[in-house]
Chains A and B, each alone.
Chain A
């Protein structure tokens, strides 16, 4: 791989996007790549839009990804997927959890949640949609949405499945490991 690979993880503060990006980051360093991650902490984590960038390759300079640059967007929520779509490069892939979380302007009636987002994205990009919440429930914990999505990302990546599982083992607390391994498999085989 000569080019830098650029992956964007988007979602709503509190959904566990940070853990997902860290699992990704720690998996790619074991593959021997240079890697940079950019995270969001602080106020946005309180239910706001959150964006994490992960870049890896031979040599990575800046930690951020610009419009039209992302190879893969991993979206934890439908509206956030739509918002991030301009960052996807031509021919890139967008993996979307179809869960909808209404932002406050929608809740108070000051704005409308756009209709048929998945179809709109499909018209413009290579979309893989998944109901990760159901799969997480199936795995045994609704909080495992992030690991379901990591499983889907793993499937779309060139990195060996074992490397991902190895990272999971070292990142996730022992008592949640079984649920997370199950969630990963459900995502991977989706």
Chain B
């Protein structure tokens, strides 16, 4: 049976068919749906871990114990996951072990544009790169067996366009793979110097074996169209190149992007007059070709930035222009993402902006607190950095600066890696104020449960991490729970807490407006009592806008949260309940 599947769902299907036993991940766009899809299969143990490092370690443990295991993340998640990955490369596997990483060229939903292929080389782990959903399923499925054959973890590398495109996939039955025996093996599984020195020798031999495998594997295919131009490419870039060039080029499509096949590349290039390397992001394939003495055209013709298109490739290789199209001769306003109507974070940022505080920000929907008109976030670096970076700021600038400084971090992000920063603040005598934006869910990635929600990925009830007790346990003595929509009280709480000479935590508690069960009665409406002070416009609510001189609320967008009613000094905004 053929089915239309998202690349991510196809990866999940491949793992399912390969008989995977355990999948542990932390959500991150564009990788999230892989694990969500996995959770739908009753035969697989699936979980959301608190962060990517924990997730990878759960998968590694499952592999050592004899099961097939996988962990999935976005490109920056791989940074968090890197520590165990580099060492399990030495340990190898018992049950097949796959790490699936999704890059985000064009940064649709990310803070940088790093190229994960560098990790494959750095950690000496083989890497496969599918181009469409059919390949996503097939490559993932095969990865588990390869992992066991070569005693190595295997990377699957995706990119946003592969993860979030749907194409046809042939579904097969799940293979029955018995969980292997576990036997204590100190030399293999205990990576202390005496053992690791010996394992490194084995890893280098494995690299050689995998290079030999790369020469003959069906993952790497040559398409000889008798053309003079050759293209070496991989993943989604192959599909762009194929669409742009058709039979006007020969293709070497590398389904295995680490290690690379020296002889195959040399032989392919020898038959072409001119060879292009077409790859998004960094010149990984290009640098390899040049290192083995193969002359190629790469980044001098193609960008290091963003996503490619077939038109871009047709222009660079064939000098063909894109088809004629309508031109627009006026400025079209951008439509950047915004916090949703009813978003609980809006109240928080309204207050922080009003108080003119420096806001050390983090990763999540609330990063949008940096966008006008709220524009209150000062920094966004990586998961958890809001807490630790604020300590650094306070240490260099002193107490007065600290009294105008807060960290904001979501509940899931706090558990991910904010808690360690908070421990640092307590331990090293900081006096920071950390606001945990507790919206009862992992919002940005589309509503995943996490340790603070009391539910597992499969929706089962579980113990819920109590943020108050957690903060108390690490030594925070001033903890306040406040509703960010009660703006007066929230403002007072923030003012009080930043003034302290001791560290404090504010838990800004209100559920995400998109959660099922969050329903506000009626819609807000501007009444005749409006004095046009436009204070409500400072909320940056997409439902409130100015028509000429009057403020209007678009009832198709308003979700009735009532935050604007709370900020209106003249009580001119009314609730209309039908």
What chain B residues lie within 8 Å of A39 (beta carbons)?
A: 6, 164-166
Given contacts A29-B168, A36-B166, contact A90 B337 (CB under 8 A): no
What chain A residues lie within 8 Å of B2 (beta carbons)?
A: 29
List CB contacts (< 8 Å) of B216-251 with chain A: 236, 239-240, 242-243
Residue of A83, A101, A108 touching B372 (CB-CB under 8 A): A108
Q: Judge whether B165 and A37 touch: CB under 8 Å.
A: yes
Q: Judge whether A41 and B4 touch: CB under 8 Å.
A: no
Assembled-state Cα–Cα distance A79/B330 (Å): 12
Given contacts A47-B542, A104-B336, contact A42 B557 (CB under 8 A): no
Q: Judge whether A41 and B29 touch: CB under 8 Å.
A: yes
Assembled-state Cα–Cα distance A8/B467 (Å): 45
Query: Which of B141-149, B207-215, B319-327, B417-425 sits within the interface?
Result: B319-327
Q: Judge whether B325 and A114 touch: CB under 8 Å.
A: no
Assembled-state Cα–Cα distance A143/B339 (Å): 20
Q: Judge whether B332 and A79 touch: CB under 8 Å.
A: yes
State how many residues of chain A have any CB contact under 8 Å with chain B. 61
Q: Judge whether A85 and B338 touch: CB under 8 Å.
A: no
Does B496 have its Cβ within 8 Å of any Cβ on chain A?
A: no
Does A131 have its Cβ within 8 Å of any Cβ on chain B?
A: no
Assembled-state Cα–Cα distance A71/B560 (Å): 40
What chain B residues lie within 8 Å of A109 (beta carbons)?
A: 546
Assembled-state Cα–Cα distance A117/B109 (Å): 29
Residue of B242, B309, B368, B557 touching A61 (CB-CB under 8 A): B242
Q: Judge whether A104 and B371 touch: CB under 8 Å.
A: yes
Does A156 have its Cβ within 8 Å of any Cβ on chain B?
A: no
Interface size for chain B: under 10, 10 to 19, 20 to 34, or 35 or more residues? 35 or more
List CB contacts (< 8 Å) of B130-170 with chain A: 132, 161, 164-168
Does B335 have its Cβ within 8 Å of any Cβ on chain A?
A: yes
Given contacts A63-B239, A103-B334, A107-B546, contact A82 B108 (CB under 8 A): no
Give a binary string over B242-276; 1 marks a CB under 8 Å from any A CB, 0 the rest. 11000000000000000000000000000000000
Given contacts A66-B322, A114-B330, contact A43 B337 (CB under 8 A): yes
Does B296 have its Cβ within 8 Å of any Cβ on chain A?
A: no
Q: Judge whether A102 and B323 touch: CB under 8 Å.
A: no
Q: Judge whether B545 and A46 touch: CB under 8 Å.
A: no
Shortest Cβ distance from residue A16 to the other chain B in the assembled complex, whole angstroms: 12
Assembled-state Cα–Cα distance A111/B332 (Å): 8
What chain A residues lie within 8 Å of B70 (beta carbons)?
A: none
List CB contacts (< 8 Å) of B535-561 with chain A: 537, 540, 542, 544-546, 554, 556-557
Does A64 have its Cβ within 8 Å of any Cβ on chain B?
A: yes
Q: Judge whether B368 and A46 touch: CB under 8 Å.
A: yes
Q: A37-B4, A40-B108, A107-B546 are in contact. List 13 more A-B contacts (CB 8 A).
A: A37-B167, A41-B109, A42-B30, A46-B365, A46-B444, A48-B338, A62-B236, A62-B310, A66-B310, A67-B325, A68-B325, A85-B326, A103-B335
